[in-house]
Amino acid sequence: MTPSKNSVVGKNVTKVDAFKLARGEAVYTDDFRPPGLLFAKVLRSPHPHARIISVDVSQALALDGVVDVIWHQDVKAILHTRAGQSYPEPSPYDTVVMPEKARFIGDRVAVIAAESLTAAERGLDLIEVQYEELPAINDMDEALTRSDLLIHEVPDPQGISQAGKSNLAANIDKQVGDVDAALKTCDHIIKRQYTLPRVQACHIEPHISLAWVDEDERLIVRTSTQVPFHLRRVLARILELPEAKIRVIKPRVGGGFGDKQELVVEDLVSILALRTKRPVRLEFTREEEFIAARYRHPQRITMTTGVMNDGTMVANRMHVLADTGAYGSHALTVQGNTGQKVLPMYPAANIHFQVECVYTNNPISGAFRGYGAPQGCFALERHMDEVAKVLGMDRLELRLKNHIKLGDTDPLSAKYGPVRVVNSTGLEDAIRLGCQAIGWNKKRPASEPQLKRGLGLALAMQGSGIAGVDWGAATVKLNDDGSVNLLVGATDIGQGSDTVLAQMCAEELGLACEQVQVLSSDTDLTPFDVGAYASSTTYVSGGAVVKAAAKVRQQLADVLAGPWECDPDAIVFAQGKALAPGGQSMTMQEVALFALYTAMIQPMATESHMSNDSPPPFAAQFADVEVDQETGRVYVRKFVSAVDCGTVIHPRMVEGQIEGAVAQGIGYALFEEVLLDRRGKVLNPSFLDYKIACALDMPELETILVETNEPSGPYGAKAVGEVPMDGPAPAILNAICDAVGVSLDQLPATAERVWRVCRDKEQEAE
């Protein structure tokens, strides 16, 4: 029995690592420097497509300070995927540690380990490589049509859609109803194309990993990762080692955003550590982050929508052409989310979702916050404004008429499963409150004569973990002083999951949050968890924590029920005490001492949690912008996010998640685009040339938390990490189009692009 009113959940408790972070005492991967440390650097291909005929490392090895150099002749070619996903991974096994053929500018050719970073960098210059250059494909359309030039040839790497026949890495074709037949019955058919750029996560801490062999001949990998358990499994495959011989430790992480949901550097330091028997460290430069880390997939999305004159949506088709780059990690699953997490927002009776994701000789695409949904949401929400324009209908009214509602079933999941039924939604309240906050029905004048002002909105839904796939476990152990240890495999990468999980544990046991000591993400010490992705931690890992803490609470109640002569279920744990209906009470420390030294049991439990549901959080987001038609510059004046994430566990951190997503969304909308030349070389691999939103670009932000109670979530919680990333770009573009009366269907809306569409509009008027 627990009190009905939450005492910890829903409160802004102090973040468990707040003081360490504020004092600069948090320990990251780079803060650990064991004796005998070697520094690794990677030699990268200057060619987009070339066979590596030979590598002469003799001069490099002769250099003072160089200890080891490896290339493909030194490493067994074991096919694997670097995507950090649950086994069996849906991504193709198309990768080896050191390839015999370079597939993009920046692909691995050799890796060197030296006594110093300077020696490693000098050694790279002494490695001589003979290449056989091959024709390259850098265009998605060309990749789709070419069968004579394959980026991945036979023998068939596991999981490629059409291995040996085409450059198609993954394809999807799902249909509910009959879209072609339904379109023939519609009053209007609106077809538009939307173009999404290649963008980078730009986390402050770059990819960095450290590996060594301990005194028991075990490989220890200390690394900045989102997926320690998946990482261990993939390393075991690559290295042909038992998983028991590998320990992965995740310290504090300086941001990941999905880019660290993949094995990027860990295999190289592991191999070098096993060969040299010394600790090896590899850290990317910022330029390497732009060249050899992962991107949000560039896509071209074609929307075809059939509607009736009254705005009833009859049919919706989304066709996605995407570029996975040289390797297919996340090729299928990201694109799957582009439609499957987005199209159900407007559950028409007829839906057709098609994907063609191709290999090119471009840098690798992968996971990035939102995981495909930001691209799909941009296309769908821009398209809704275009549909409303054709109908002569208010764009908000069109959305209100068609959006998914409480009790509705996601039509794609109903046919292809697992089925998602909306059992909680605050979307209508979010729309209402967001409209009030942005002043939707109040036409505001521009602040200066040359500016035009406009409003835009976008609706978004996402998920809470991957239904039937994502799961996690937690261990709760009571200590002598009444505190508890909480051991979780869940991965805190800066989003604050250690704190949120501690709150749930404390709530269940009637403790203060400070009495919960969290240890997370060490494959030797903590139970399994899939890691930080798919907005799964609060919903999935939190479910495991609540189960484990409840079991410990029951153990304590059973211990006390005898001497107190009462029903165990009548004992209440609150405010650090156990309270019996007869008036008896003990502090939690007294309970612990009684259990450990009188009853002689260790109150402790490990529980697992997996959900066959993935309840969608919802967001309604609104932008107020001004546009200078003479320069094309866009000024975002105010941005409102009204978000339903179920019960809010920690309001301030939820607001931080939302506002951080909005900042990334503003960059996606207005500035960010990785530029490639015709050979696939990155032209802007630095923060001097690649622009992200900074403090000076941020508008007035208003964040509204619309609380609901999700019956399947711990304490009624749903996810919040990704859904606020989906709406900013379409809301801002819709506001730009509202301001200047144009259609702009490509991101980013740079000043030049906005100026050009404004100029074209003026020329057409003349």
Angle of CA points 563, 566, 568, to nearest 5°: 95
Helix (H) or strand (E) holding 765: helix 751-765
**Mean per-residue pLDDT for 58-79?**
97
- Per residue in 570-598, pLDDT (tens digit) is 999 999 999 999 999 999 999 999 999 99
Cα separation, 275 vs 277, whole angstroms: 6
Q: What six digits make up the tokens of 117? A: 């970073």
The torsion angles phi and psi of 152, rounded to 5 degrees, stand at -125, 115
Say whether pLDDT at 143 is over 80: yes
| Residue 359 near residue 328 (C-beta atoms within 8 A) | yes
Q: What is the pLDDT of residue 164?
A: 80
Q: What is the pLDDT of residue 2?
A: 37
- pLDDT band at 37, cuts 50/70/90? very high
Q: How far is CA 628 from CA 456, 701, 751, 755, 758, in A?
A: 17, 22, 9, 8, 10
| Residue 314 near residue 186 (C-beta atoms within 8 A) | yes
Q: Which residues of 477-509 are buried (b: 16+ CB within 10 A; e: fewer)?
A: bbbeebbbebbbbbbbbbbbbbbbbbbbbbbbb
Helix (H) or strand (E) holding 609: strand 604-610
Q: What is the pLDDT of residue 439?
A: 97
- Which of the four CATH numbers 1.10.357.10, 3.40.50.1970, 3.90.1170.50, 3.40.50.2000 does domain 34-134+204-255+260-292 have? 3.90.1170.50
Is the C-alpha dihedral spanning 503, 509, 512, 514 positive or negative? negative
Q: What is the pLDDT of residue 1?
A: 31
- Per residue in 742-752, pLDDT (tens digit) is 999 999 999 99
**Mean per-residue pLDDT for 396-418?**
96
Say whether pLDDT at 172 is over 50: yes
Q: What is the pLDDT of residue 154?
A: 65
- Per residue in 464-496, pLDDT (tens digit) is 999 999 999 999 999 999 999 999 999 999 999
Cα separation, 306 vs 182, whole angstroms: 8
**Hey, what amino acid is at 474?**
A
Burial class of residue 449 in the structure, from the number of CB atoms within 10 Å of its CB (0-12 exposed, 13-18 middle, 19+ buried): exposed
Q: What is the pLDDT of residue 58?
A: 98
Say whether pLDDT at 564 is over 80: yes
User: Residue 740: helix, strand or coil by DSSP?
Assistant: helix
Q: Tell me how crowded residue 565 is: count the other CB atoms within 10 A of its CB.
A: 9
Q: Do domains 34-134+204-255+260-292 and 137-199+294-394 have the same CATH topology?
A: no
Q: Which residue has the tokens 């690794």?
A: 40
**Mean per-residue pLDDT for 380-387?**
98
Say whether pLDDT at 3 is over 60: no
Q: Which residue has the tokens 């249909």?
A: 175
Q: Of residues 158 and 76, which shows the higher confidence score?
A: 76
Angle of CA points 684, 690, 695, to nearest 5°: 165
Beta strands in 396-542 (DSSP E): 451-461, 471-478, 484-488, 516-520
The torsion angles phi and psi of 366, rounded to 5 degrees, stand at -160, -145
The set of residues, in sequence order, having a beta carbon less than 8 Å from that of 424 and lying 6+ positions away, is 406, 615, 644, 646, 708, 709, 710, 711, 716, 718
Q: Of residues 58 and 3, which shows the higher confidence score?
A: 58
| Residue 259 near residue 267 (C-beta atoms within 8 A) | no
| Residue 298 near residue 268 (C-beta atoms within 8 A) | no
User: Hey, what CATH topology would domain 137-199+294-394 get?
Assistant: Aldehyde Oxidoreductase; domain 4 (3.30.365)
Q: What is the pLDDT of residue 4?
A: 43
Helix (H) or strand (E) holding 562: helix 542-564
Characterize the bridge pairing of strands 246-249 and 219-223: parallel
Q: Which residues pair with 315 in a beta bridge?
A: 306, 350
Q: Tell me how crowded residue 162 is: count the other CB atoms within 10 A of its CB.
A: 14
Closest by CA position to 40, among listed 150, 115, 126: 115
Q: What is the pLDDT of residue 155?
A: 60
Q: What six digits make up the tokens of 602? A: 């260790």
| Residue 501 near residue 542 (C-beta atoms within 8 A) | yes
Domain 423-464+614-766 has CATH 3.30.2350.10: no
Mean pLDDT, the chain, whole residue set: 96
Q: What six digits make up the tokens of 246? A: 């590998």
Say whether pLDDT at 161 is over 90: no
**Mean per-residue pLDDT for 182-209?**
98
Q: What is the pLDDT of residue 153?
A: 87
Helix (H) or strand (E) holding 200: strand 199-200
Q: Tell me how crowded residue 259 is: count the other CB atoms within 10 A of its CB.
A: 24
Cα separation, 478 vs 588, whole angstroms: 9
Closest by CA position to 548, among listed 487, 610, 633, 591: 487
**Mean per-residue pLDDT for 312-320?**
98
Helix (H) or strand (E) holding 172: strand 168-176
- pLDDT band at 444, cuts 50/70/90? confident
| Residue 611 near residue 537 (C-beta atoms within 8 A) | no
Characterize the bridge pairing of strands 604-610 and 585-587: unpaired
The set of residues, in sequence order, having a beta carbon less than 8 Å from that of 517 and lying 6+ positions away, is 483, 484, 485, 486
User: Residue 150: helix, strand or coil by DSSP?
Assistant: coil
Burial class of residue 30 in the structure, from the number of CB atoms within 10 Å of its CB (0-12 exposed, 13-18 middle, 19+ buried): middle
**Mean per-residue pLDDT for 296-322?**
98
| Residue 556 near residue 573 (C-beta atoms within 8 A) | yes
- Per residue in 248-274, pLDDT (tens digit) is 999 999 999 999 999 999 999 999 999
Helix (H) or strand (E) holding 315: strand 313-325
Q: What six digits make up the tokens of 612? A: 């066959």
Q: Is 589 left (phi over 0), alpha (psi -120 to 50) or beta?
A: alpha
**Mean per-residue pLDDT for 367-378?**
98
Closest by CA position to 737, among listed 455, 459, 460: 455
- Per residue in 81-129, pLDDT (tens digit) is 999 999 999 999 999 999 999 999 999 999 999 999 999 999 999 999 9
| Residue 305 near residue 294 (C-beta atoms within 8 A) | no
Say whether pLDDT at 215 is over 50: yes
CATH of domain 18-27+471-610: 3.30.365.10
**Mean per-residue pLDDT for 177-196?**
98
Q: Give me the residue spans of the domains in the chain.
A: 18-27+471-610, 34-134+204-255+260-292, 137-199+294-394, 423-464+614-766
The fraction of the chain above a pLDDT of 90, given in percent, is 96
- pLDDT band at 159, cuts 50/70/90? confident
The set of residues, in sequence order, having a beta carbon less than 8 Å from that of 628 and lying 6+ positions away, is 450, 451, 634, 635
Is the C-alpha dihedral spanning 660, 661, 662, 663 positive or negative? positive
